[in-house]
Amino acid sequence: MDYGSKRCGIAASDPLRLIANGLTTIPTWQLMDWLKNYLLAEEVGDLVIGESLHKDGTPNAINAEVVGFERKFARLYPAIRLHRQDEFRTSRRAMEAMIEMGVPRMKRREKERVDQMAATLILQDFMEALD
């Protein structure tokens, strides 16, 4: 998940944890309702959230919101393990990936697409770190 104050990019992996796929982008205020419905439909064992830090490694402003979300989520879904994954440069990497894929410029300007692709990169990075 690429957690943001306005919207969150969501990605999921296949059951074997080989490939991350972008799912959607959700307004942050709708996130818990969306997750509730998703978790009823899909088996989820882990939730990976992008960890946004300053270049010096200190948490940035969104970190307090992420911590609040994690506490609420952990209370509601204690069986699902929460993980943080460094999200440094994922938005830039998402933009570069869309250029490589030939996504037209106007579609690359849609922040929802960038957030969804960033979530995919966060999850892929997490899965690669497990190997």
The model's pLDDT over 37-52, given as tens digits with 9 standing for 90+, comes to 999 999 999 999 998 8
When pLDDT is averaged across residues 118-130 and rounded to a whole number, the result is: 91
Residues 6+ apart with CB under 8 A from 97: 117, 121
pLDDT at 108: 62
pTM here is 0.86
d(CA 85, CA 97): 19
Average pLDDT, the chain: 89
pLDDT at 44: 94
